A and B are shown apart, each in its own frame.
Chain A
């Protein structure tokens, strides 16, 4: 298992200033510490819809890489997204799921199928061709650059553990200033 913040730091080293990133819930708060940027798309509501927002962004801006940092509970709430994305097949969409087996933002209760569900397996079954799974940080460090150079859609399952207590100020995700900053940054380039 990989520490989430260290895992995100490894990914961040390969994310450019032009990339759009959609981090979800607990991952979002860690990501904001690791890579603050107006091109972080943070206001995607709830119920697992970040990956679907990402599909819209990827279809609308094929010139940009769109990277989702999803949660396992979130993905389960919107599992059809794997099929819809594989069908639409945007070459610029990279869907990471941080699997810790819990609804961390809602009390840490286990997700259904914890330990039994294979997210990578479901992605393959949904039609994704480029699928990866990591539980070792060194392996991820070695391969992440090449993975983010693959044509999308790409799916990556990251087996992680929480990095500890977080201060969850949800205005950092849902505040109107966040959406304005994103809109302005996307419009500028």
Chain B
């Protein structure tokens, strides 16, 4: 889709548990979460992550910093996860292009989709900023997965494991506000 979104009917979807996502993040061996706050994931993910000591939360000023921090961590054999909003993803395209894609590094990004409607696929969102995310990732050759409801949560661990095994970036798109 290149222009306006069509009037898509929402699919009935269940809840998305923040607790379940955090459990999978830990099970994936993530030792550092690097984050700029995102309103979609603020309460269900970032707030509880901030209260815990493992994984360690690193607060940053701008998302491209986080791409580079994850790159540095990857060389040391430590696993980082960048928790951001799609606006920050878009702002960091050059850092992702250079460090994640051209240098082929396992930069793992969990991205809240601001203004995405529950049950509507990102490409059919009324929000231009949401609609363009998947096509941009396709153009960059970056693997991504949609996390829309609890049945999607088991995608997290294999996606992160594969990113590190293949030394390639991966994006996990959070499609509704986690509980």
Interface positions of A (Cβ within 8 A of B): 41, 43-47, 49-50, 52-61, 78, 80-81, 83-84, 87-88, 179, 182-183, 186-187
Contact = CB atoms under 8 A, between A and B. Distances in A.
B68 interface: yes
8 contacts: A41-B72, A52-B72, A55-B58, A57-B72, A59-B32, A59-B69, A60-B78, A61-B76
Given A49-B95, A49-B99, A186 B75 contact: yes
A45 B60 contact: no
Given A56-B80, A179-B103, A186-B75, A80 B60 contact: yes
B72 A88 contact: no
Contacts of B56: 59
Q: Assign chain B's interface to a size class.
A: 20 to 34
A60 B58 CA distance: 12
B73 interface: yes
Residues of A contacting B: mostly: helix
Interface of B: 32, 56, 58-62, 64-78, 80, 94-95, 98-99, 103
Contacts of B99: 44-45, 49
A24 to B, nearest CB: 12
A49 B61 contact: no
Contacts of A44: 68, 71, 99
A53 B62 contact: no
B141 to A, nearest CB: 17
A60 B72 contact: yes
Given A60-B77, A60-B78, A179-B103, A83 B61 contact: yes
